[in-house]
């Protein structure tokens, strides 16, 4: 009986492996194939993952966060695919159409900011076709073995006071004073866009409801860093 159980288990695992292998989607990062693999995160990094449709027809591709492990002091993980969300748990990010044989190089990107976190953090994804056969490919990010605490952290922006009550200041590095700041709420909705013309900028906290927000600094269409803002 035990032998029959193991045989059935092997067949199930074999079918799952075959199903996943047949999904005509691949991922690359930095010119390397990262399909069904896990790579290491660095502090203060913006990662653009390229998604390729290797099939013969156009495909609506879904990216789903399936598992997130974070320390007690949460880092900031802003993940975009169709829509952008600050990720603290499993979530379906959205659906983007990728034409047959083409690669999407812009929509799947991840901003990681340790925000003073000294513990390991990781995040795992499933990438699959909307309405497809049920197969998927996987992708994972991990900080555990990077030695992130030894990496120099450039303070592109600082926010003070934080938590804010009546006002808050956003101080931007001098070389980045001609840039853009976007503020999103906890579910990724855009709340405010600011064209930065100077290094020190003051804003009224009264324009925002009480809660947690994410402040992202953008230069030349690239997210340089994202920080958490708390409004009391």
Mean pLDDT by 10 residues, the chain (232 residues): 41 41 84 85 73 95 89 70 82 93 91 67 90 88 52 66 89 77 81 82 88 83 79 90
Give residue limits of the domains in the chain.
25-150, 157-231
**Which CATH architecture is the domain 25-150 placed in?**
Sandwich (2.60)
pLDDT at residue 193, as a whole number: 87
pLDDT at residue 189, as a whole number: 79
- Same fold yes or no, 25-150 and 157-231: yes
pLDDT at residue 77, as a whole number: 75
157-231, CATH topology level: Immunoglobulin-like (2.60.40)
pLDDT at residue 71, as a whole number: 65
pLDDT at residue 11, as a whole number: 40
Distance CA 74, CA 180 (A): 25
pTM of the model: 0.58
Distance CA 229, CA 110 (A): 19
Dmax (CA) for the chain in angstroms is 74
């Amino acid at each position: 009986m035990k032998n029959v159980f193991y045989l059935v288990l092997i067949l199930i695992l074999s079918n799952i492996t075959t199903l996943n292998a047949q999904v005509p989607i691949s991922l690359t990062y930095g010119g390397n194939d990262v399909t069904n693999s896990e790579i290491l995160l660095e502090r203060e990094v913006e990662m653009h993952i390229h998604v390729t449709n290797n099939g013969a027809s156009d495909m609506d591709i879904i990216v789903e966060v399936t598992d997130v492990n974070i320390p007690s002091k949460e880092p900031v993980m802003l993940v975009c695919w169709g829509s952008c969300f600050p990720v603290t748990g499993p979530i379906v990010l959205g659906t983007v159409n990728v034409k047959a044989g083409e690669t999407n190089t812009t929509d799947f990107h991840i901003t990681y900011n340790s925000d003073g976190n000294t513990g390991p953090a990781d995040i795992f994804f499933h990438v699959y076709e909307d309405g497809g056969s049920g197969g998927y490919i996987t992708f994972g990010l991990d900080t555990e073995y990077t030695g992130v605490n030894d990496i120099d952290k450039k303070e592109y922006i600082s926010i003070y006071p934080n938590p804010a009550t009546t006002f808050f200041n956003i101080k931007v590095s001098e070389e980045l004073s001609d840039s853009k700041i976007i503020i999103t709420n906890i579910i990724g909705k855009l709340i405010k866009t600011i064209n930065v013309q100077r290094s020190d900028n003051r804003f009224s906290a009264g324009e925002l409801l009480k809660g947690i927000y994410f402040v992202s600094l953008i230069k030349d269409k690239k997210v340089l860093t994202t920080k958490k803002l708390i409004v009391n």
